[in-house]
Amino acid sequence: IRDEESGYNKNLFCIPKHYEEDLERVFIPHGLILDRTERLARDIMQDIGSHHIVALCVLKGGYKFFADLLDHIKALNQNGDKSVPITVDFVKIKSYC
């Protein structure tokens, strides 16, 4: 996103009430994030070849993206011509002070 990007008017989206006053504009729509997540999953499956995938999620902040990415990878894994084993694990990292 360029620095001069103005984003999208928040009235084009369904914004939860508790965020309405805090949010001025939307810079990256949810659909675009989902599309890029699916593309990332395709790139991973193409680059990984037939190697085992070890997926590691940093808990709290990354769980939703991680789950979406894994859903796309699993769909590609099930519907593709090859099946790659996937191991999933989670870590919790202490915040820096």
Specify the pairing of strand 53-58 against strand 25-26.
unpaired
Q: Are 32 and 7 in contact (CB under 8 A)?
A: no
Q: Are 37 and 72 in contact (CB under 8 A)?
A: yes
pLDDT of residue 40: 95
- Domain range summary for the chain, segments of one domain joined by +: 8-92
Tens of pLDDT along 29-61?
A: 888 889 999 999 999 999 988 889 999 998 877
User: What percent of the residues of the chain are helix, what percent strand, and what percent coil, each to the nearest 5?
Assistant: 45, 15, 40
pLDDT of residue 53: 92
Place of tokens 């991973």: 44
pLDDT of residue 97: 57
Q: Are 70 and 36 in contact (CB under 8 A)?
A: no
User: Is residue 66 over pLDDT 60?
Assistant: yes
Tens of pLDDT along 8-31?
A: 888 888 888 998 889 888 888 888
Residues 6+ positions from 28 with CB-CB distance below 8 Å:
1
Does CATH number 3.40.50.2020 belong to domain 8-92?
yes
Q: Are 38 and 69 in contact (CB under 8 A)?
A: no
